[in-house]
């Protein structure tokens, strides 16, 4: 499967790749220029050196396109595909020197984003059958948010808000600055002309009661750092009110604990580790004369 230019590209991808190449290549790859004849053709093969989930194909292909539009990229495993050790993921055929110049940046995108997708797949499988969704956070690499959130989806996870602009999320510092939970919810309600989703974070049962007593109920309630013994009754209390509300849990949730949290009856489980702590998937790129 070949990848057309721009296929599946996140907004700003072209600029992101351009900046990454400028950082790496600078004024030119002196080693490649000194060792590789300009007319030598090559074939690059990217293989998995660990099991995982592929993501970042568009960024991978865009890197080769920017280095040399004459390089042909063929995809063996697309975004969301699972791979085992030794599986081919992609091929690139063209000028040997161009393949070398693009190699590191292309792999950096593919390894990092595949690592995020692999992490998301692990968490998604851990909660399978519970009805809970594992969602990401804003704890992303600066400039990479759209790419990393796409990788979360490729792995079977779900996206929370993209940024500060597409949903209200009232946290403890907002509550402190607004003068309390009731004041914060009322203030948001008076300014929510766009009818954006409204979520509020609570840390204790007392804060939860204040939210449930508000005349401006939120669309979502985030139970932050609730131990399981507190989480179960908190979820039960929210459901007892009878209003439709998304219940989210967050705070130090790991693969070892995520299913227990899901079985408490929450709708969403937000996990910053999907993006900020995902190890890169181990990949290798081998280039041979064509």
Spatial CA neighbour of 110 closest among 54, 165, 191, 164: 54
The answer to whether residue 104 is catalytic is yes
All residues at 6 or more sequence positions from 30 whose CB lies less than 8 Å from its CB, including other chains: none
Other C-beta atoms closer than 10 Å to the C-beta of 14 total 16
The answer to whether residue 139 is catalytic is yes
- Radius of gyration for the alpha carbons in the chain, expressed in angstroms and rounded: 23
Contact present, 248 and 220 (Cβ < 8 Å)? yes
Whole-number Cα distances in Å, 202 to 60, 136, 146, 259, 264: 41, 19, 28, 21, 17
The pair of structure tokens assigned to 101 is 């110049």
Catalytic residue among 125, 161, 171, 203: 171
The answer to whether residue 77 is catalytic is no
The pair of structure tokens assigned to 208 is 């939860």
Catalytic residue among 148, 207, 224, 248: 224
Give counts: helices (H), strands (E), the chain. 11, 12
Question: How many residues does the structure list for the chain?
Answer: 290
The answer to whether residue 149 is catalytic is no
Instruction: Compute φ and ψ for 207, nearest 5 degrees.
Output: -65, -35
Catalytic residue among 62, 154, 199, 201: 201
Give the three-state DSSP class for 224. strand
Catalytic residue among 43, 138, 139, 161: 139
Catalytic residue among 43, 49, 104, 203: 104
Angle in degrees, 0-180, between the axes of helices 13-25 and 57-67, rounded to the nearest 10: 60
Residues serving a catalytic function are 104, 139, 171, 201, 224
């Amino acid at each position: 499967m070949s990848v057309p230019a721009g296929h599946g590209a996140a907004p700003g991808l072209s600029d992101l790749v351009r900046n990454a190449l400028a950082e790496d290549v600078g004024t030119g790859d002196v080693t490649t220029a000194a060792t590789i004849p300009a007319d030598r053709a090559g074939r690059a093969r990217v293989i998995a050196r660990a099991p995982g989930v592929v993501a970042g194909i568009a960024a991978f292909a865009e890197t080769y396109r920017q280095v040399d539009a004459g390089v042909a990229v063929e995809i063996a495993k697309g975004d969301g595909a699972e791979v085992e050790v030794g599986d081919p993921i992609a091929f690139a055929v063209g000028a040997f020197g161009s393949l070398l110049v693009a190699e590191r940046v292309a792999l950096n995108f593919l390894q990092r984003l595949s690592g995020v997708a692999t992490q998301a797949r692990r968490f998604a499988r851990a909660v399978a059958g519970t009805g809970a969704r594992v969602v990401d956070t804003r704890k992303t690499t600066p400039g990479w948010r759209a790419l990393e959130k796409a990788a979360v989806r490729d792995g079977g996870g779900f996206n929370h808000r993209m940024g500060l602009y597409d949903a209200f999320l009232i946290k403890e510092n907002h509550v402190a600055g607004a003068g309390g939970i009731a004041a914060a919810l009322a203030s948001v309600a008076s300014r929510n002309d766009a009818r954006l989703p409204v979520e509020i974070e609570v840390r204790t049962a007392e804060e939860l009661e204040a939210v449930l007593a508000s005349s401006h109920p939120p669309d979502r309630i985030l139970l932050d750092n609730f131990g399981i013994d507190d989480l179960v009754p908190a979820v039960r209390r929210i459901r007892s009110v009878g209003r439709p509300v998304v219940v989210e849990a967050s705070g130090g949730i790991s693969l070892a604990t995520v299913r227990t949290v899901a079985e408490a009856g929450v709708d969403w489980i937000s996990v910053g580790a999907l993006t900020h702590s995902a190890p890169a998937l181990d990949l290798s790129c081998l280039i041979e004369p064509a």
